[in-house]
């Protein structure tokens, strides 16, 4: 099975010139979903991973499944104002403006080994913010794992330059 073939491409979404890589078709295919989770987990089987952190929202779906397979806890990384308890936050730049990501203060303890999971790595802004947030909490980032990489946008390279091991399953050229 070719996982790339299970990912729908939507031209000109959300803006003209963008080829949106929609993993909901992969998630809806039981065999593809299982294979994607298995392939995300496989390089880390046997590694001590305390928590899997998933970036809102598709990172929740994938991260929860990965955490289950690794017998690890799960940490939701959410948009500002979505978590009910005391939080820590990090702001990050977007193409037009900025955003913030939060996690509960007690989500990660100092020295815990954490794997970051999301559906796609593009420019890397969101993933870099997540790494910063987790490191500020004292986490050791074991890896950042994504189903899709858009290598021309450089996000995986930026994460690697920050000392983060990056693992991806499929790459698509273009934006």
Active site residue 95: yes
Instruction: Given the residues 58, 78, 102, 112, select the one marked as catalytic.
Output: 58
**Burial category of 46 from C-beta neighbours within 10 Å (exposed 0-12, middle 13-18, buried 19 and up):** exposed
Q: ∠ CA(65), CA(14), CA(12), 5° rounding?
A: 110
What does the block give as tokens for 30? 């039981």
Active site residue 58: yes
Helix (H) or strand (E) holding 70: helix 58-70
Instruction: Given the residues 31, 34, 95, 173, select the one marked as catalytic.
Output: 95
Sequence-distant (≥ 6) Cβ neighbours of residue 4 within 8 angstroms: 170, 172
Q: Which residues are annotated as catalytic?
A: 58, 95
């Amino acid at each position: 099975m070719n996982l790339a073939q299970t990912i729908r491409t939507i031209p000109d979404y959300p803006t003209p010139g963008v080829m949106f890589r929609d993993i909901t078709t992969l998630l809806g295919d039981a065999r593809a979903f299982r294979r994607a989770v298995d392939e995300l987990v496989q390089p880390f089987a046997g590694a001590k991973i305390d928590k899997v952190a998933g970036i809102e929202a598709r990172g929740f779906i994938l991260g929860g499944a990965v955490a289950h397979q690794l017998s690890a806890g799960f940490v939701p990384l959410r948009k500002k104002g979505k978590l009910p308890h005391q939080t820590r936050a990090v702001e990050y730049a977007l193409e037009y403006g900025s955003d913030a990501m939060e996690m509960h203060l007690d989500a990660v303890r100092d020295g815990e080994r954490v794997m970051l999971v999301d559906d796609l790595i593009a420019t890397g802004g969101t993933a870099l913010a997540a790494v910063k947030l987790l490191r500020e909490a004292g986490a050791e980032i074991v890896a950042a794992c994504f189903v899709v990489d858009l290598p021309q946008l450089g996000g995986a390279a930026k994460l690697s330059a920050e000392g983060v091991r990056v693992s991806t399953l499929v790459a698509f050229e273009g934006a």
